[in-house]
Chain A
Amino acid sequence: MELSVQDREYMCSGHVGCPGCGAAIAMRFVLKALGEKTMMIVPACCWSIIAGPYPQSTLKVPVLHTAFETGGAVASGVRAALDIKGDRETTVVTWAGDGGTFDIGFQALSGAVERNEDFIYVCYDNEAYMNTGVQRSSSTPYGAWTTTTPGQEWKKLRKKNIVEALVAHRIPYAATASIAFPEDLVRKVKKAKAVKGSRFLHIYASCPTGWRMPSELAVKIARMAVQTNIFPLYEVENGVRYTINYMPKGYLVREYFKLQGRFKHLSEADLEQIQQMVNEDWELLLRKAGVSPGAAGPVTKID
């Protein structure tokens, strides 16, 4: 089946993302959906580098690189300037990594969303501080190795549920998306573009370098994250209306974990525990979406 995604390209070759960079794929899709009337605010993240050094830019839309924690605020300012200039057409987008979203930039994001600033905030999530060399963030999942959670100190805390945090703001539109589901992703970006007020997109963007896996699996692993319920695809309107976009086939999380070096230390017991956590989160999501677990297809069971 051919995927119907806009042909127009807003990203150039020659950017300096790692081979198989999920964040680069995410950017391509998002810009295809948004088109040229877009301004990108990029706080510190891998994309600060990927986008190219002076005097280059890999994107064919304006880009404003900003400080790490400022994604929500700088976008607010750009939006305000465009508003006062009477430009209602241009979409202002903050393009931040998980560190700049979940951690250091959370305050500015929360502030902007509380003010219902008219912009799209995209978090491309690669689950750690990758640009600085794989340090744990509050987005790093339970079980993961990072350079700051080495050896037996692997992260034993859950990943922050950022979408639910945004939903608690009653944000007009929040959605998860994955580079492995381009049509869903593009549809959500287009939908977000049409909504007024704050919009949040949480895009799962694999990182072969930081996840210690072969680069060719970048998309496959992102797909598996969805198939295993580790990263469900759903959207929430006005903080209350949940829609689950993908009912998984009930793959075991183990399949996802065993492909990545960052999880290689985990025992069967650990994996079982993680499976329970994933099941629990999924059932919680189903309840919020008002779907009875039976109707939603298989919830993964451990044999």
Chain B
Amino acid sequence: MTHAFVSQVSTPFIPRSTTTTESNKTGSWRFLQPRYDEKTAPCSAACPAGEDIARVEMLVAQGLFKEAWETILQENPFPGVCGRVCFHPCESVCNRGAFDEPIAIHTLERFVADTAMRYGLQPQRMALPPKSERCAVVGAGPSGLAAAYFLARLGYGCDVFEARSEPGGLLRWGIPPYRLPVPVLQWELEHLQALGVNIRCNHKITGGFLHGLKDRYAAVFLGCGHYKSPALGIAGEDLSGVEEGLPFLERVRSGDLPSLSGTVAVIGGGNTAVDVSRCALRLGAKVLMVYRRRRQDMPAFGHEIQMAVDEGVELMELWAPLSIEAHPDGFRLSLQKMEVVSEEGGRARVKPVPGETTAIVVQKIFKALGNTAEEPWLEPPGEIAPHILHLADTVVSRREDGLVVVYGGDLAARSKSVAHAIGSGKEAAMALDLYFRRGWDAIVEETARCRVGPGPSLSMEIYTGGDRCRRNPHVVAFEEINTDYFLYGPRIIQPRLLVEERLQGFSEIDLKVSAALAIREAERCFNCGVCNQCDNCRLYCPDVAVCRDTSPQGRHINLDYCKGCGVCVVECPRNAMSLVENETGGRP
């Protein structure tokens, strides 16, 4: 039987959907707009070499060790060295410190470099076209080598002139092997040379060197460091057996290990003084470090001082040397008691306490005061003139004959550290490239554009137009981190030799960490301001307006639908997004 009347009654017209809501362009509701806005992590802004630390830790957490290593190499040719000897100012500003404990950035840097070394990785480098200008670099220390490295990457041929038999400068001759084993330096130097940097050792430069350079070089970088020790200005300092600290360290580094006995006095409070003390300790002496201010005023790195004390170095604070006399058992060192008068920037000003002196008898004395340039012509010009630019870590001078002389490293940097020296070399390379390509007037403005956060550290990745260009210079504060996405977790403990083991020789004190531990540590990192593809923005979007794509960001906001609620921005754990005024669409 058929339904004769079915045809008479039409299909009911009911509220039943036939389409989606996608024709409603709810983006027109928006008056604020979320934006992927990667920002600057405080660690990277504090790094004198401008390393992209937040990204490095992200890559380590993902197990992408090679990529992490290459990311460091963008900004620093010496991760293996810096992972050992850097004073890591990054860690003291780490936002994680306000949560539980800072990330062990230093340990992770070394881990990344060691992993690369262990597997003999070759970095993938962008090859910039070769340039016609050739540069000379004087001094194969960290700043000179860094300058050569960055110049080579920018396409410049470089000749490095080194007075000593091997390159490395302070890294090779000044830092004891228990902090920096020679093979680490050598491995990183091989990469440098692979870039085409030509290092000519045993080639001491004299004052006349600069003349006639113009024919062969368009520029010269002077990074000779401070090797000359100033005089103490006291009687007896020239007595035989009273030695300079740096040459002593150089002897140790060259394998000449004199046996010491009795008590050794080391005068000074800088890193050289600490290194001399700890070497002397290892060579069999009892060591007294004599310093005219307090321990906290010492220029040496705090953790180095602490290790020296742990190893048995005795500190004599607030004692200034008065005189040195020969003594049957060695030397009689007279000392003047000092007292703190006032503090300036946390550092004490001291004056003698009248009448309070003492004398100690020691078997040997090392002078390890601050150092100065070996030759006056190596010092950068102090004057302000149109042909002289005083940049953050370099001084650039344009001579009348057209040759550009850049003073870098310890000669010109804000601070005397390996990381500052590297930053200085980078700044020099950038300034020279700018000068050659864009002219003298572009240098100041364009280097400023390449600052990491507020600077003064510079980024070569930014300079060469890498992804880091997109970073907002705003430095992410702890309050801007959504800590709900992070669990409390203890910081990795750097494994070390026991004190007894350390004193047996010059073996490296800091031991390797496992990949598992490194990843766990890197996972603690907030990755401040850097997107780690966590996808929270897409996950939480109430309007399904975050879409994956193949861009470096991996996703984009579909402004046709985004209502501008801002949930993605707040739920971004690491402040890699911002809510800004409407750029397109929506109400004004």
Q: Which residues of A contact B (CB under 8 A)?
A: 1-3, 5, 9, 11-22, 24-25, 28, 51-52, 54-58, 60, 63, 65, 179-180, 182, 208, 214-220, 223, 227
Question: Which B residues touch A9, using CB under 8 A?
Answer: 544
Question: Which B residues touch A20, using CB under 8 A?
Answer: 542, 563, 565-567
Of all chain B residues, which has the CB nearest A63?
B17
> Once the chains bind, are B566 and A52 in contact (CB under 8 Å)?
no
Question: Which B residues touch A182, using CB under 8 A?
Answer: 539-540
Residue B314 interfacial (CB < 8 Å): no
Pick from B22-30, B128-136, B170-178, B438-446 the stretch touching chain A.
B22-30
Residue B5 interfacial (CB < 8 Å): no
> Once the chains bind, are A14 and B23 in contact (CB under 8 Å)?
yes
Query: What mask results when residues 534 to 554 of chain B are scored 1 for a CB within 8 Å of chain A, else 0?
Result: 111001101111000000000
Which secondary structure dominates where chain A touches chain B? loop
Determine how close the nearest CB of chain B comes to the CB of A295; give it in whole angstroms.
19
Question: Which A residues touch B47, using CB under 8 A?
Answer: none
Neighbour of A19 across the interface among B534, B564, B570, CB < 8 A = B564
> Once the chains bind, are A3 and B565 in contact (CB under 8 Å)?
no
Contact status of A218 and B543, CB under 8 A, knowing A12-B20, A52-B24: no
> Once the chains bind, are A216 and B570 in contact (CB under 8 Å)?
yes
Total number of B residues with any Cβ neighbor in A under 8 Å:
41
Neighbour of B543 across the interface among A1, A13, A55, A179, CB < 8 A = A13
| Residue among B26, B542, B543 having the largest count of chain A Cβ atoms under 10 Å | B542
Interfacial residues of chain B within 1-33, with CB under 8 A of chain A in the complex = 15-26, 29-30
Contact status of A1 and B24, CB under 8 A, knowing A19-B565, A20-B565, A219-B570: no
> Once the chains bind, are B23 and A54 in contact (CB under 8 Å)?
no
Determine how close the nearest CB of chain B comes to the CB of A137; give it in whole angstroms.
22
Residue B485 interfacial (CB < 8 Å): yes
> Once the chains bind, are B567 and A52 in contact (CB under 8 Å)?
no
> Once the chains bind, are B544 and A28 in contact (CB under 8 Å)?
yes
Question: Which A residues touch B533, using CB under 8 A?
Answer: 2
A227 to B483, CA, bound (A): 13
> Once the chains bind, are A214 and B544 in contact (CB under 8 Å)?
no
Of the A-B pairs whose beta carbons lie under 8 Å apart in the complex, a sample of 8, sorted by A's number, is A14-B21, A14-B23, A28-B544, A54-B17, A56-B23, A57-B19, A58-B21, A216-B567
Query: What mask results when residues 159 to 182 of chain B are scored 1 for a CB within 8 Å of chain A, else 0?
Result: 000000000000000000000000
> Once the chains bind, are A19 and B21 in contact (CB under 8 Å)?
no
> Once the chains bind, are A57 and B21 in contact (CB under 8 Å)?
yes
Neighbour of B544 across the interface among A2, A13, A54, A56, CB < 8 A = A13
Determine how close the nearest CB of chain B comes to the CB of A32; give it in whole angstroms.
9
> Once the chains bind, are B542 and A17 in contact (CB under 8 Å)?
yes
A208 to B563, CA, bound (A): 13
> Once the chains bind, are A215 and B567 in contact (CB under 8 Å)?
yes
Neighbour of B19 across the interface among A51, A55, A214, CB < 8 A = A55
> Once the chains bind, are B561 and A25 in contact (CB under 8 Å)?
no
Residue B579 interfacial (CB < 8 Å): yes
Determine how close the nearest CB of chain A comes to the CB of B578; give it in whole angstroms.
11
Neighbour of A218 across the interface among B21, B486, B542, CB < 8 A = B542
Neighbour of A24 across the interface among B25, B543, B564, CB < 8 A = B543
Residue B569 interfacial (CB < 8 Å): yes
Residue B344 interfacial (CB < 8 Å): no
Query: What mask results when residues 213 to 244 of chain B are scored 1 for a CB within 8 Å of chain A, else 0?
Result: 00000000000000000000000000000000
Of all chain A residues, which has the CB nearest B547?
A13
Question: Which B residues touch A5, using CB under 8 A?
Answer: 539
Residue B401 interfacial (CB < 8 Å): no
A89 to B387, CA, bound (A): 82
> Once the chains bind, are A3 and B16 in contact (CB under 8 Å)?
no
Contact status of A14 and B571, CB under 8 A, knowing A20-B566, A216-B566, A220-B484: no
Question: Which A residues touch B67, using CB under 8 A?
Answer: none
Residue B296 interfacial (CB < 8 Å): no
A216 to B23, CA, bound (A): 25
Neighbour of B17 across the interface among A18, A24, A52, A223, CB < 8 A = A52
Residue B202 interfacial (CB < 8 Å): no
> Once the chains bind, are B543 and A15 in contact (CB under 8 Å)?
yes
Contact status of A21 and B542, CB under 8 A, knowing A13-B26, A215-B565: yes
> Once the chains bind, are B542 and A56 in contact (CB under 8 Å)?
no
> Once the chains bind, are A217 and B15 in contact (CB under 8 Å)?
no
A52 to B535, CA, bound (A): 27
Neighbour of A56 across the interface among B20, B26, B558, B565, CB < 8 A = B20
> Once the chains bind, are B579 and A216 in contact (CB under 8 Å)?
yes
Determine how close the nearest CB of chain A comes to the CB of B101; give it in whole angstroms.
18
Question: Which A residues touch B486, using CB under 8 A?
Answer: 1
Neighbour of B567 across the interface among A60, A219, A227, CB < 8 A = A219
Determine how close the nearest CB of chain A comes to the CB of B533; give it in whole angstroms.
8
Question: Which A residues touch B21, using CB under 8 A?
Answer: 12-16, 51-52, 56-58
Interfacial residues of chain B within 459-503, with CB under 8 A of chain A in the complex = 482, 484-486
Question: Which A residues touch B565, using CB under 8 A?
Answer: 19-21, 208, 215-216, 218
Determine how close the nearest CB of chain B comes to the CB of A208; give it in whole angstroms.
7
Question: Which A residues touch B508, using CB under 8 A?
Answer: none
Determine how close the nearest CB of chain B comes to the CB of A55; give it in whole angstroms.
5
Of all chain B residues, which has the CB nearest A21?
B542
Determine how close the nearest CB of chain A comes to the CB of B24; give it in whole angstroms.
4
Question: Which B residues touch A3, using CB under 8 A?
Answer: 534-536, 539
A178 to B227, CA, bound (A): 65
Of all chain A residues, which has the CB nearest B536?
A3
Determine how close the nearest CB of chain B comes to the CB of A232; give it in whole angstroms.
16
A55 to B542, CA, bound (A): 21
Of all chain A residues, which has the CB nearest B14?
A54
Residue B560 interfacial (CB < 8 Å): yes
13 additional contacts (CB under 8 A) given A21-B565, A214-B566: A1-B486, A1-B534, A5-B539, A9-B544, A15-B21, A15-B26, A24-B542, A54-B17, A216-B566, A216-B570, A218-B565, A219-B567, A220-B484
Question: Which B residues touch A208, using CB under 8 A?
Answer: 565
Question: Which A residues touch B566, using CB under 8 A?
Answer: 19-20, 214-216
A18 to B20, CA, bound (A): 18
> Once the chains bind, are A56 and B17 in contact (CB under 8 Å)?
yes
Contact status of A25 and B579, CB under 8 A, knowing A55-B17, A57-B17: no
> Once the chains bind, are A19 and B544 in contact (CB under 8 Å)?
no
Of all chain B residues, which has the CB nearest A26?
B542
| Residue among B16, B540, B567 having the largest count of chain A Cβ atoms under 10 Å | B567
> Once the chains bind, are B535 and A14 in contact (CB under 8 Å)?
no
> Once the chains bind, are B543 and A56 in contact (CB under 8 Å)?
no
Contact status of A2 and B20, CB under 8 A, knowing A21-B542, A220-B570: no
Determine how close the nearest CB of chain A comes to the CB of B519; give it in whole angstroms.
13
Question: Which B residues touch A12, using CB under 8 A?
Answer: 20-22, 544
Question: Which B residues touch A1, using CB under 8 A?
Answer: 485-486, 523, 534
